[in-house]
Amino acid sequence: MAVIGSSMGLPSVSDIFASNVLRLVLALLAASGLAGLLLDFARMLRLHRKMPPGPMPWPIIGNTHLLPKVKPWYYFEQLSKQFDSPVITFWIGRNPTVWINDAQSASELLEKKAAVYSSRPRMVVFAELTGMQQSSDPNAKVPGTNLVTMFYGERWRVHRKLTHQGVGLQQVRRYRGFQNDESKVIAYDILRSPEQYVAHYERYAASVVSIIGFNRRVSSIEDPIITEVIAVMQKAAELKVPGKEFPMLFETFPWMARLSPSLFPWIFKGLGRRRRGQEFFYTLAEEAHTKDPDQSCYVNDLFKEQPKYNLRKQEISSLAGNLFGAGSDTSSSTLITFTLACCAFPEVLPKVWEELDRVVGPHRSPSWEDEPELVYTKAFVKEVFRWRSVAIIGGQPHAPVSDDEWNGYIIPKGTWTQGNVWSIHHNEKDFPDPDRFNPDRYMKDSPESRPFPNEKGYMTFGWGRRVCSGQGLAEQGTFITVARMLWAFNIQKALDEQGNEVPVDIFSYTDGLNWRPQPFKCRFTVRSPEIRAAIEREGRQALQDLSEYDGESEAMDRFFKHNKQEA
């Protein structure tokens, strides 16, 4: 019958059997997939009940669909108010993330429990796709190449030690001389070309860390190292902001990160800039070491330590590059914010001028020796750090090395845990009228002063064992530069053709994690003829003193020429 049926075009018994088996297999696979999906969603719901409050997750996608296109820190601040909890849970795909939205909770979790929250979570986009985390397993034999993303452990301690040798609190005082001179050059440059103030800030910040790292200053605003460093750091900042578009969607669907870049080049666009940055920093490090291995600079110290710690090329590159991350883009962005604050809140300037005129006078600029007496100036600098903190969501996320408990809730081991600095610094309880720039908040006897969990009064540089390595360098440089700029200039809104002031927007900022004001014009008016003479005299002397660090980089020229040809 089977043969007859086959000859008449009817399905054979074997065909029917095979078809039924196929249907059964497909049904079993579908049932298995559905069961797996249900089990995974049950896991998500179980965690959702145990973790700090937040929106109900969906299967597979979690809460990713709720993310705004830009500036999610505003959204997490709103969620914190909506759920009446300073700590909330938000699901990125199948994984929960925890967001801390007030100073007290950040202190309790990230500072008082620093040993617990000392690691990093898995970061697919920023770390794995750029080669900085080579495994999603914190116990992997190769833990990564960069201190910033490295899981907590022995290799992290090596990198932290080497970083402290370059920019630790005990080291940065040695840099005050050339940092002060570069600050004098800012005032001198702005005196001559005030419309290029952003470029002058960027040159200053890049030059300071270039001297520390490579014993070579950046003397011109046209030096390509500035544009390359800013581009690399801004791209890195973009790759750390949660989002629902590619490439950040890889955090929701990590398996998609295995897709070939050649098949989907538009998805992987921009990651190449981050990888190119690793090559760029090693090129600078190798050249500086080859030119003069005995010269005192950070990269020579790294090459000396290379055999002891078995440092790979990528590790030397990341350690050198982190100097710029710690003190270049962030420092210049802080100074741009300072300038915006002066334009937007001119009423705060007379009080700081009175102090500077009384302590310093018009015939010289502020010095380190003046710092103890410049009480209000220091309060002004603190308010700059608070008002629009550059690392607006606190830099890199933390992750607990073991399950932790907060107010009866569970935060599982390895959970992406982020401090929302925007929300922390704009909490009405700690900072009334938070968008108003008001240095009086940091004057002890002022009625506007409020208690804060730490002595500094801000959380701009992170927390615990993962606090920004360049904090001391940034605070030191920002103080002397802000003090000098306030002493030298009246920084005001620009004027239009009719002589009317052009308004500035204190909310017009870029979208990356290390945000900065969108471009705006302003005026720099020298405060007196005596101050002008002092700026010119000190600027010329500073350039002479800094000349020992002048020099060209042949390796950098070759690097840019090679990459231009490839492009």
CATH number of the domain that 539 lies in?
A: 1.10.630.10
In this predicted structure, the answer to whether residue 564 has a pLDDT above a threshold of 70 is no
| Residues of the binding site for heme | 468
As annotated, the binding site includes 468
Long-range contacts for 313-317 (Cβ within 8 Å, ≥24 apart)? 313/282, 314/131, 314/145, 314/278, 314/282, 315/145, 315/146, 315/159, 316/282, 316/285, 317/145, 317/278, 317/279, 317/281, 317/282, 317/285
pTM, full prediction: 0.91
pLDDT tens digits for 104-121? 999 999 999 999 999 999
DSSP 8-class letter at 497: T
pLDDT for the residue 405: 97
pLDDT at 562: 61
On whether residue 144 sits in a domain, the answer given is no
pLDDT value at 2 more than 50? no
Per the domain annotation, does 548 fall within a domain? yes
Average pLDDT, integer, range 414-419: 97
* Confidence at 1, pLDDT banded by 50, 70, 90: very low
* Contact call for residues 91 and 54 (beta carbons, < 8 A): yes
- 247 SS3 class: coil
Total number of domains constituting the chain: 1
Residues 525-548: tens digit of each pLDDT:
999 999 999 999 999 999 999 999
6 pLDDT higher than 60 = no
What token pair was written down for 498? 């009719």
**Residue 58 domain-assigned (yes or no):** no
DSSP designation for 6 = H
pLDDT at 269 over 90: no
What average pLDDT score do residues 49-56 get? 98
The pLDDT of residue 241 is above 90: no
203-239 pLDDT, tens per residue? 999 999 999 999 999 999 998 888 777 777 776 767 6
Q: Categorize the per-residue pLDDT at 4 as very low, low, confident or very high, splitting at 50, 70 and 90.
A: very low
Measured CA to CA, the distance from residue 53 to residue 471 in angstroms comes to 33
Q: What is the residue-wise DSSP string for 119-151?
A: B----IIIIITTTS---S-TT-SS--S-TTTPP
Statement: residue 132 has pLDDT above 70 = yes
DSSP state string for 107-118 = IIIIITTTTTT-
Residue with token string 């000098």 = 484
The answer as to whether 460 is a domain residue is no
Tokens of 252: 């929701």
Instruction: Encode pLDDT of 19-34 as tens digits.
Output: 666 676 677 677 777 7
Domain that holds residue 246: 155-381+469-566
Q: Residue ranges of the alpha helices (H) in 148-252?
A: 154-167, 176-192, 197-214, 224-238
Q: Which two tokens stand for residue 525?
A: 């008016």
Q: Is residue 427 part of a domain?
A: no
Asked if pLDDT for residue 261 goes beyond 70, the answer is no
- Report which residue type is found at 496: D
Q: What is the pLDDT of residues 347-372, one digit of tens each?
A: 999 999 999 999 999 999 999 999 99
The answer to whether residue 117 sits within a structural domain is no
Highest mean pLDDT pick, 74-78, 256-260, 321-325: 74-78
**pLDDT above 70: residue 190:** yes
What integer is the mean pLDDT of 276-301? 89
Q: Is residue 195 part of a domain?
A: yes
Residue from 554, 564, 561 nearest 216 by CA = 554
Task: Give the chain's mean pLDDT.
Answer: 89
Give yes or no for residue 244 having a pLDDT over 80: no
133 vs 147: CA distance, rounded Å:
10
The verdict on residue 21 lying in a domain is no
